[in-house]
Amino acid sequence: MDLFCSFVRVNLFSEKIPRKMMLQMYNLLHSMSRDQDCDFYHRLVQFIDSYDPPLKGLKEDLNFVSPRIGEVLEAVGPIIFLSTDTRKLRNEGFLSPYHPRYPDILTNSAHPMRAQDLANVTSYREWVLFGYLVCPDELLRVTSIDIALVVLKENLVLTLFRDEYILLHEDYQLYVLPRILESKKMAKSGRTKQKEADLEYSVAKQVEKMISEVHEQALLSCDAIHRERRILLKQEIGRMALFFTDQPSLLAPNIQMVFSALAFAQCEVIWYFQHVGIASSKSKTTRMVPVDIDPSDPTIGFLLDGMDHLCCLVRKYIAAIRGYALSYLSSCAVRIRSLLNTPGMVALDLDSSLKGLFQQIVQHLENIPKPQGENVSAITCDLTEFRKDWLSILMIVTSSRSSINIRHLEKATVSTGKEGLLSEGNAAYNWSRCVDELESQLSKHASPKKLYFYHQHLTAVFRNTMFGPEGRPQHCCAWLGIASSFLKKLYFYHQHLTAVFRNTMFGPEGRPQHCCAWLGVASSFPECASPIVPEEVTKIGRDAVLYVESLIESIMGGLEGLINILDSEGGFGALEIQLLPEQAAYYMNYASRVSNLSAKSPKGPSGFPFPGQESHPENNTSIKMLEAAVQRLTNLCSVLNDMEPICVLNHVFVLREYMRECILGNLRRRLLSALKTDNDLQRPSVLESLIRRHISIIHLAEQHISMDLTQGIREVLLSEAFSGPVSSLHLFEKPAEQHTGSATEAVCNWYIENIIKDISGAGILFAPIHKCFKSTRPVGGYFADSVTDLKELKAFVRIFGGYGVDRLDRMLKEHTAALLNCIDTSLRSNRDVLEAVAGSLHSGDRIERDASIKQILDIDTVIGFCVQAGLALAFDRLLAEASGAVLLEGAPLIHSLLTGIAKHIPEEIPERIEIRRLRGVANNFGVVYDHDSQWVRFILEEVGGANDGSWSFLPYLFATFMMSNIWNTTAFNVDTGGFNNNIHCLARCISAVIAGSEFVRLECEHQQRQSLSNGHAADNGDTEMQSRSSAEASIKSTMQLFVKFSAGIILDSWNETNRSHLVAQLIFLDQLCEISPYLPRSSLEPHVPYAILRSIYSQYYENSPSTPLALLSGSPRHSPAASLSHSSPGVRHPRGDSTPQYDSSYFKGSSSHSQEHETDSGSLRSTESRLRNVRRSGPLDYSSSRSKVKFVEGSTSGSTGPSPLPRFAVSRSGPISYK
């Protein structure tokens, strides 16, 4: 029958080849090979003429075997009816190892013969469809109508070759129905006997009705029929896999039942993909009607997964199955020999040929080796000859020319009360295949290789089902496994396979464990390639690889989706919001304002429940969703982790590696996407919380994966903070063209462009008191203080680590170096003018000084550059403080070590490379007292600046800034401790540039002396210390020179008509003296009495709404006189045994008053504390620690310590009097 079907297939397939092409190709090939004509060409033409259409010729050719075909189809009818009766299959346990009526009793099968027949039911159905199509007369048998009806009702197409098919019902109506109508007409005309004519007419009429109506029935019901069958198989195969996993010893006796289940499942999976996308035309309307196939059916994944499990069990216990089969065949030999000796067989008087075949059968079975112990796997046994002899016997006894037929044998042996001879022989035939053809049987009944031709649908179905509500992670293995075996025939539907996978894998009934089955299909794809077409192996192999890659992409997309669902504001984000203490406090305050909670909704503002009501049943939905998502994520990770590698040709797919790359790649993408909001840069603290949330989800998945994802997380964060060559990580001196991670680069560029350069014009101001930058309008989505305060910078350091800090520090240095270069250019271009300015300043010639200053080019532009440099200095100081704070939190011992070392760094000029590196590290963590000057010094050393004689005019250039028009619009702000146009940053720049350039100048001079003395320099330590002391003295004298000349210019330019700039300039000089670690605070007093400054500050703070007036006169001990009774700052050491209180990030005043005096008023203490936190500038506050300076300065009052005598009583008080 298989040969019969193949013959029909070939002829029907020929119809799909264009006639002319067939003739021309034959003629062309023949002419090329022999260069002559041939008679076969005319026979080919005759063949086409006779077989056009092919069914016409087939009916004539097969007319002589039509009755035998009809008999065979009638014989397989009961098995076909059974296979379509889902209820009977379930109720009577045809596919269950349990006894149908006694569930407690295990059996090798309730119906062993029927079970093995069910394994071939797919072939039986094809016999019916092809048989009645080419032998339509056989439909006139009474029983044939029902057989054809049940098969036609559940099929719409008939496969010819691979994924080529014909529309079944259209061909039945075109070629079968006319023959039935002809028979009906002949019966009606009375050409046959009347009784037979009536019967034939009635049968023909029923067949006509059946063929006319079954098409409509098939369109409406075929999908429902097969869906019910798939559900049955899903349940039975699932139970079977669990049972045989638990009881593997019962697998061998039930192997035929396992084959039947595999064959059934294979048939249903292939049917599903064969009918996806089919459009059938209704005979009456001739319009195409698409078949309604649900692409989201999750049962496909369950079937693939169940088949995969059963195949694994069979392969695992293949030795036990072979041993059982060998034992069965040995016992079967005894039974067959006894049956041959029964009286009935003796009476049959068999001929010599048949008798000889029976004797050979017995000999074959008796010569089978006996399994000994555990050596079954070593036994080699070829039973091909046994099967050939048994088939020869069957062919003889089923032949019409034989005197002994099959019924004779059955009657002669069945009377013994046991199985008849034919039953024993057929059972031996089937069990013999379990000895030497077990793998081929498994391949036949379970190989999904034909799905290759539908692999696109496979991928689509996988995506639709895998991650749905019923998706199972373990199904991934099954879907992927398709690619390794591809149920063979499923290859032809691999496009549909992909579609079904996508629709079902992540659907409501999808199971992650089905992935393995879907993937495993592809392994058998290459088996579909024809060996005579070498190109097909490559093509099909490539398609199989693409199928696996597509499914893996879908699986990883689902995995990524699950992670992102958890890492969203509706996932763990919602949970975090409910757990935030601030949020709970807000809800509690809101609840306290609601008078009657019982009458109100339990939902608070923004839809969140009030504290204490989160656990109520009505509020559990979100938690249940989170639990479901977590469960699905962990299941998927476990299944993919345990899945064996998928092998397709020479490609190996290891799902663990794909999963690792997916998780880490998703982390990188989430990091980059979280960097920016809709408006602009994300706040570092928010970004840090988002990263921590995502990493916690990865750690959750890591518990189910046998891989170190934590190391991968470090690699991702490192690559986004540093992406240069690994060798550069071990070098202290970084290469000039060092590449940085994209995330760090984006954040650092944003800070440089929007905070330092202020390209958006947001009015960036540095607030020394608040230690952050402020803006008059939002920069992107936030005001500047929301992204530049110490908390945000600490978050930046924790995210990007030292590499991010290094990158931002380097960018700040590059920007500052460009600004210092502008100062250098200004010094060089104005050198002659600055010489004249210096001469006039020293000589006191005001007219010549003013004239020379007016000749200086672009002085306002240079001031702007200096202000930007001061902004960069302030930002880097904050960054260093944040780095130190993070280091103190994470590695307090290292921070303590670095702080201690910084106090004892040798003071050398020039410094050795090691000392310079160590000082640089300490400077980067803010544990040195002169951060700004050291930072500028490093910049000048890198770019080779300050090595020209024009830099000696630097204090004169800075002094000329006092003549700029910028002071007319400058105003002091009490709330920020700075000026409205960042002029206070100019003070920071002047102090740092003068100090840094002096260090560089002295180093250059030392090197020149070394070169002149040919290296014979004094080697005593006193010389080195003298150099450091001389450098500090030089810096101090230069700064004092600047203060002196600046004060002179300010006071000379003041008059009654032009006095708006005076106050700002005086405060500016006072702040300069405050922030400079090399300049005593009293340096300004010889030029501007402190009484004037105190009066200015008093007026500012009295008029400030943020500072109570009582603060300035709350107690005699806290009066201005008492504060000024402390001497002018005298000796101040930049380093000491204790950590210096000096902090150059803001202008800090003294807090000695509050430490020395206690007041009885709580409000006064609170306001005093507020003053210490808000206003840290001006002469009202002098710290006793300010006396720790190397340079001894004499006070104008002659006092060096606290004195009850008001200082202004003996000093030059100036024009302002005090009451």
Question: Which pLDDT band holds residue 1128 (cuts at 50, 70, 90)?
Answer: very low
H or E element that contains 815: helix 790-829
pLDDT at 1114 over 60: no
Confidence of residue 973 (pLDDT cuts 50, 70, 90): confident
Same-domain pairing of 999 and 1100: no
Non-local CB neighbours of 157 within 8 Å, separated by 6+ positions: 165, 166, 167, 168, 274, 275, 278
Of 42, 61, 80, the domain-final residue:
61
- Determine which helix (DSSP H) or strand (DSSP E) holds 808, and give its type and residue range: helix 790-829
Cis before 910 (ω within 30): yes
| Domain-ending residue, one of 173, 189, 224 | 224
Give the pLDDT confidence score for residue 466 in this predicted structure. 61
**Same domain for 878 and 924:** yes
- Report the C-alpha gap between 274 and 380 in whole angstroms: 40
In the chain, the percentage of residues whose pLDDT exceeds 70 is 71
User: Beta strands 972-973 and 978-979: pairing type?
Assistant: antiparallel
Query: How buried is 352 (Cβ within 10 angstroms: 0-12 exposed, 13-18 middle, 19+ buried)?
Result: exposed
Q: What are phi and psi of 774, to 5 degrees?
A: -120, 160
For 32-58, what is the mean pLDDT? Answer: 66
Asked if 78 and 52 sit in the same domain, the reply is no
pLDDT of residue 1091: 84
Entry pTM:
0.65
Q: Is the pLDDT of residue 1024 over 90?
A: no
Sign of CA dihedral 204, 205, 209, 212: positive
Is residue 85 scored above 70 in pLDDT? yes
Q: What is the DSSP letter of 1160?
A: S
Confidence of residue 850 (pLDDT cuts 50, 70, 90): confident
Q: Please tell me the predicted confidence (pLDDT) of residue 653.
A: 86
**Domain hosting residue 1117, numbered range:** 1080-1209
Contact, 157 vs 278, CB < 8 A? yes
* Residue-level pLDDT at 488: 54
| Domain final residue, candidates 61, 90, 105 | 61
What pLDDT does residue 879 have? 93
Whether 1181 shows a pLDDT value over 50: the answer reads no
**Rounded distance, CA 169 to CA 289, Å?**
13
Return the number of other C-beta atoms located less than 10 Å from residue 1004's C-beta. Answer: 15
Stretch (H or E) spanning 165: strand 164-167
Kindly tell me if the per-residue pLDDT of 1171 is higher than 80: no
d(CA 567, CA 952): 60
- The whole-number pLDDT of residue 786 equals 86
Q: Is residue 505 part of a domain?
A: no
The C-alpha torsion from 644 through 646 and 652 to 657, rounded to 10°, is: -50
Please state the three-class secondary structure of 352-390 as a single string: HHHHHHHHHHHHHHHCCCCCCCCCHHHCCCCCHHHHHHH
Q: Provide the 3-class DSSP secondary structure of residue 824.
A: helix
Tens digits of residue pLDDT in 1064-1079: 888 888 988 988 888 8
CB 1073 within 8 A of CB 990: no
3-state secondary structure string, 411-428?
HHHHCCCCCCHHHHHHHH
- Are both 51 and 71 inside the same structural domain? no
pLDDT at 583: 60
Instruction: Give the mean pLDDT of the chain.
Output: 76
Identify the band that residue 34 occupies on the pLDDT scale cut at 50, 70 and 90.
Answer: low
- Which range among 228-232, 526-530, 536-540 shows the weakest confidence by mean pLDDT? 526-530
Tell me if 382 is assigned to some domain: yes
Tell me how many domains the chain contains.
5
On whether residue 576 sits in a domain, the answer given is no
What amino acid is encoded at 364 in this protein? H
Residue 1166 has pLDDT above 50, yes or no: no
- Same domain? 147 vs 76: yes
Mean pLDDT of 1185-1214: 36
The values of phi and psi at residue 511, to 5°, are -125, 130
Number of H helices, E strands in the chain: 51, 14
Q: Which residues pair with 476 in a beta bridge?
A: 515
**Which pLDDT value is given to residue 893?**
93
Looking at residue 1199, its pLDDT comes to 36
Flag whether pLDDT at 1188 surpasses 90: no
Q: Verify cis geometry, omega within 30 degrees of 0, for the bond prior to 526.
A: no
Determine the pLDDT at residue 106: 56
Three-state SS string over 722-777 comes to: CCCCHHHHHCCCCCCCCCCCHHHHHHHHHHHHHHHCCCCCCCCEEECCCCEEECCC
Which of 347-351, 370-374, 457-461, 698-702 is most confident?
Answer: 698-702
Between these two residues, 978 and 450, which has the higher pLDDT value?
978
Q: What is the mean pLDDT of residues 207-212?
A: 89
Q: What is the pLDDT of residues 148-197, one digit of tens each?
A: 999 999 998 888 887 788 888 888 888 888 888 888 888 777 655 666 77
Q: Is residue 738 in some structural domain?
A: no
pLDDT band at residue 340 using 50, 70 and 90 as cut-offs: confident
pLDDT for res 494: 66
More confident residue, 30 or 443: 443
In 3D space, the residue among 266, 257, 263 whose CA is nearest the CA of residue 239 turns out to be 257
Provide CB contacts within 8 A for 953, sequence distance 6+.
Answer: 827, 831, 834, 835, 837, 838
Beta bridge partners of 487: 449
Same structural domain, 39 and 134: no
Could you tell me if 819 and 868 are in contact, meaning their C-beta atoms sit under 8 angstroms apart? Answer: yes
pLDDT of residue 471: 63
- Residue 838 is assigned to a structural domain of this protein: yes
Whole-number pLDDT of residue 1165: 39
Q: Can you tell me the mean pLDDT for 792-796?
A: 91
Helix (H, G, I), strand (E, B) or coil at 1069: helix
Residue 452 φ then ψ, to 5°:
-55, -40
- Encode pLDDT of 112-141 as tens digits: 556 677 888 889 999 999 999 999 988 888
Cβ contact 630:566 at 8 Å: yes
Asked if 180 contacts 207 with a C-beta cutoff of 8 angstroms, the reply is yes
Average pLDDT over residues 516-545: 76
Does a structural domain hold residue 695? Answer: no
pLDDT tens-digit series, residues 475-501: 666 655 555 544 455 666 667 777 777
Contact 257, 95 (CB under 8 A): yes
Q: Do 90 and 160 share a domain, yes or no?
A: yes
In terms of domains, do 1136 and 1199 share one? Answer: yes
Residue 1042 inside a domain? The answer is: no
In terms of Cα–Cα distance, which of 721, 754, 768, 718 is closest to 740? 721
Q: What is the mean pLDDT of residues 993-1021?
A: 72
* Whole-number pLDDT of residue 989: 93
- Taking residue 949's Cβ as centre, other Cβ atoms within 10 Å add up to 10
> Do 863 and 994 belong to one domain?
yes
Residue 318: closest CA among 326, 868, 598, 348: 326
Count other C-beta atoms under 10 Å from residue 1152's C-beta.
17
| 1031-1041 mean pLDDT | 86
Lowest mean pLDDT among 33-47, 62-76, 799-813, 937-951: 33-47
852 and 991 share one domain = yes
Who's near 1114: CB < 8 A, 6+ residues apart?
1159, 1161, 1164, 1167, 1168
Instruction: Count CB atoms within 10 A of the CB of residue 282.
Output: 14
Instruction: Answer yes or no: do 910 and 806 share one domain.
Output: yes
Q: Which of 127, 314, 319, 301 has the alpha carbon at shortest distance from 231?
A: 301
| CA neighbours closer than 13 Å in the CB half-sphere of residue 476 | 38
Least confident of 256-270, 462-476, 789-803: 462-476
Per-residue pLDDT of 274-318, as tens digits, reads 887 777 665 444 445 566 667 677 888 888 888 888 988 998 888
Range of weakest confidence among 370-374, 698-702, 718-722: 370-374
- For residue 194, the model assigns a pLDDT of 63
Q: What digits encode the pLDDT tens for the residues 887-929?
A: 999 899 998 998 888 888 877 777 788 888 888 888 888 888 8
Same domain? For 937 and 985 the reply is: yes
In a 13 Å sphere around the CA of 28, the CA atoms on its Cβ side amount to 6
| Confidence at 378, pLDDT banded by 50, 70, 90 | low
Q: Is 50 exceeded by the pLDDT of residue 1113? A: no
Structure confidence at residue 44 (pLDDT): 63
Say how many CA atoms lie within 13 Å of 1062 toward its Cβ. Answer: 15
Q: Does the residue 163 lie in any domain? A: yes
Task: Please tell me the predicted confidence (pLDDT) of residue 1151.
Answer: 36
- Residue 594 pLDDT > 60: no
pLDDT at 1202 over 60: no
Instruction: Please give the residue that has the higher pLDDT: either 952 or 1200.
Output: 952
Q: How far apart are CA 270 and CA 163, in angstroms?
A: 10
**Segment 595-649, tens digit of pLDDT:** 444 444 444 444 555 555 655 665 566 677 788 888 888 888 888 888 888 887 7
